[in-house]
Amino acid sequence: MADRDYSSQTFEKLVAPCERQVYFTCLGMMGNAQDAQDCAQETMLKAFLGFAGFKGEAKVSTWLYSIATRCCTDALRRRHETISLEQLQEDGFDPPGDAPSPYLQLEAGERKRLLREALQQLPCEHRQPIVLCDLQGLSYEEAAQALDLPLGTVKSRLNRARASLKNTLSKNAELFSLKTRPTDERREDK
């Protein structure tokens, strides 16, 4: 990349498609919208300031995820407190006209809440690969590159994180397993 253009227009063109995913990565790491917005903004600022140093050896998205996870990790270290379990707001989601029953909506909300709580209970080093691989859809290799870790370490941490989540969520098996879900007159399974 000898004649690379380091202009703000080039930066915007390369980074703009990734902004939403960077925010959701931060949201998964931080556990609440305000902290996620702060970390996402910090990520974009650091990316802009460091754009001239981006060598193009990785995808832009991987480079941004790497910056985002470091910003979140730093913010969590600075916080030195229990992570807030505030209700996360889903931006831009408009349920279709064929919405599920209120009971199923309540059940889905409870599943999301329990999953968020379980995710926030994970140590930061286990939460990072879960957020990148399972929530953001990165491959193991991309997550390893973003976290600057060996592939085996990412796989190991991901395996431990999934096992921990499974253990935590199994306490509410009726909400997470289709085999054990009771059916009653209030439930409208489709």
pLDDT (tens, 9 = 90+) of the chain, 190 residues, equals 445 666 788 888 888 888 999 999 999 888 889 999 999 999 999 999 888 888 777 888 889 999 999 999 888 888 754 444 343 344 444 445 565 677 777 787 888 888 888 888 899 899 999 989 988 889 999 999 989 999 999 999 999 999 998 888 888 877 776 454 444 444 444 4
- Summarize pLDDT for 117-165 with one digit per residue, the tens: 888 889 989 999 998 998 888 999 999 998 999 999 999 999 999 999 8
Tokens describing residue 62: 């991987």
| Three-class SS state of 62 | helix
Domains defined for the chain, CATH in brackets? 1-83 (1.10.1740.10), 100-182 (1.10.10.10)
Burial of 100 (0-12, 13-18, 19+ CB in 10 A): middle
108-142: b or e for each residue (b if 16 or more CB lie within 10 Å)?
Answer: eeeeeebbbebbbebeeebbbbbbbbbbbebeeeb
CA atoms of 169 and 163, how far apart (whole Å): 10
Instruction: Tell if the pTM clears 0.75, that is, is over it.
Output: no
129 touches 154 (CB < 8 A): yes
